[in-house]
Structure 1
């Protein structure tokens, strides 16, 4: 294992959730890799989303909570450039072995990754009121 890979694993911290023998590759990857990265990168994701709102001149703060949640999901699901930026913030913290797993299962992992990120941002929507 390279020094970079060792550093990344230590820097991210422990797995979040449980991994059992019955866990699929995607479930294991989600709990061992994605959840720790999403937790680590939380502040930058929130800052990126706030920048996205300002940059695109969205009237986000005057919307109802339901509309804010829809706008959050829409930004990540429909704006390919923004979604790819967020994806890069996650993939950039993969080890070489994790990247190999990701490449083999990228479609399923991308769906999990973006779904988890949408839920993370939606659950913090109140922080955008600062």
Structure 2
């Protein structure tokens, strides 16, 4: 399957920091491109851990989703790998210099994306 990064309009503003620029030019398009993989991974995680979402309210589903990323370091790192693996060499070089801050941003965006896609969670 050939994946192409989507072009996200209106994310680049004047007076953005370099980190914000990287987030909006690189991270958000990569995360959007990897959407199906992120959802499939979360569904597999849920099935493996026997987490029953069917009886939970939407708010509890959102809380449970966030808790998975906060508490399960291996799963969080797997998701970071999904995103980092789509970087170019130049993007990875920049990422390497700012990994701690960018990891936080990646996980925040991924959590939000999964939470906003609860209808796709089986």
Residue 119 of structure 1 is aligned with which of 84, 94, 112? 112
In the other structure, the counterpart of 1:4 is none
In the other structure, the counterpart of 2:37 is 44
> How many pairs does the alignment contain?
121
Structure 1 residue runs without a partner (length 5+): 1-6
Alpha-carbon distance change, 107 to 76 in structure 1, aligned in 2, over 3 angstroms: same
Structure with the largest fraction of helix: 1
* TM-aligned CA deviation for residue 87 of structure 1: 0.5
In the other structure, the counterpart of 1:72 is 65
Residue 86 of structure 1 is aligned with which of 71, 75, 79? 79
Greater displacement, 53-62 / 14-23: 14-23
Greater displacement, 115-124 / 54-63: 54-63
Please report the TM-score for the alignment, with normalisation by the length of structure 1. 0.85
Q: Quick check: 2:6–2:32 contact (8 Å CA) kept in 1?
A: no
Deviations along 1:33-77, one digit per CA (max 9) or x if unpaired, are: 111111111011001001000000112222111111111001112
Distance 2:76 2:54 in 1: 21
Alpha-carbon distance change, 40 to 127 in structure 1, aligned in 2, over 3 angstroms: same
Residue 23 of structure 1 is aligned with which of 10, 16, 22? 16
Q: Quick check: 2:53–2:61 contact (8 Å CA) kept in 1?
A: yes
Alpha-carbon distance change, 13 to 126 in structure 1, aligned in 2, over 3 angstroms: closer
